[in-house]
């Protein structure tokens, strides 16, 4: 068994730097789209479909009542002040 954690990290840093350099020079996202993972690939790697199935199976189905807006304002003031 071989573990190449150092090489994976080092190659990722080069990829980050290349992507950042391209974004800075081109000033648009389209310039890197062909060279980055798709959102679908990210979800696949995360096991998003499995998570969605688990949510549907285990989370309560009834809707929770909304939090009154006066509670939200009071909570925001508490954290901001």
Taking only the tens place, the pLDDT of each residue in 24-39 is 999 999 999 999 999 8
Per-residue pLDDT tens for 4-23?
Answer: 879 989 999 999 999 999 99
Residue with tokens 């990290």: 9
pLDDT, the chain, mean: 82
Rounded CA gap, 36 and 18, in Å? Answer: 11
Q: Alpha helices, DSSP H only, in 4-68? A: 5-26, 39-46, 48-58
Q: 3: which 2 tokens?
A: 């573990």
DSSP letter at 59 equals S
Greater model confidence, 50 or 21: 21
pTM above 0.75, yes or no: no
Length of the chain: 81
Query: Which pLDDT belongs to residue 61?
Result: 75
Q: Is residue 77 scored above 60 in pLDDT?
A: no
Rounded CA gap, 18 and 23, in Å? Answer: 9
């Amino acid at each position: 068994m071989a573990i190449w954690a150092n090489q994976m990290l080092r190659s990722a840093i080069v990829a980050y730097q290349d992507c950042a350099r391209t974004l800075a020079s081109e000033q648009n996202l389209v310039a890197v789209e062909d060279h980055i993972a798709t959102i679908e690939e990210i979800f696949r790697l995360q096991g998003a479909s499995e998570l969605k199935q688990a949510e549907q199976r285990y989370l309560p189905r009834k809707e929770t009542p909304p939090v009154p807006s006066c509670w939200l304002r009071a909570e925001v003031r508490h954290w901001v002040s």
